Structure 1
């Protein structure tokens, strides 16, 4: 998938259809109902270099100042969701994942446990935001 406007074909997160998966969130048509769906769409936004979506879905108090998609030689090649934890009625969740990517042809993996919070956006609609993450051993 070469750009965020290409809706035909598979989703970068690994699902068969971009427009039925992460595309509906990245284009602003829908809001992810779970932290896992937000995690998948954020992975896809990194793969598509969609800076605006990444910033809009990052908790404002932990959002870094630097550009999030500045590394042009990164090619995202796979996502595995290992665990999604969200207690009923809670506005906090975690998603453990492994993202695979290549830099200069060399393969790498990012294993993270991401923290998410659900709160009202500027229009009062409840939505999930990425807060921060930690990197488990091994």
Structure 2
């Protein structure tokens, strides 16, 4: 199922006017299938992204109330999430609580920092920028609202 088909099922089943809400569709960065599965199992309820990349890509920041269709590695729709909270902090100030909500590895801040230093360093480099621990990070919390 593609994103548009899933969105149509969601709005029809929940009697939502399509014009009332919009959605974005995207896949999680490193391992789209594994991370989407964590969302489906209720383990992953948060994500983080590099704030400077929103400027580079001229993309709007997420906000509470936004809907996103999560895609797998084959660009097939897996589920729909709704953003419940967004805040921006320097990388070094991301807390253990947020790391746990991301649900990756052992859920620790130490694990989160290790994998995100690698991930953000690569993404920033590809955009011609450098990662440092003062870089602002967009922390997003969400809830699973639809699965086929």
Could you say whether these structures have the same fold, taking a TM-score greater than 0.5 normalized by the shorter chain as the test?
Answer: no
Larger proportion of helix = 2
Shorter-chain TM band: under 0.3
Q: Point out which structure has higher relative CO (alpha carbons under 8 A, 6+ apart).
A: 2
More strand per residue:
1
TM-score calculated relative to the size of structure 1: 0.26
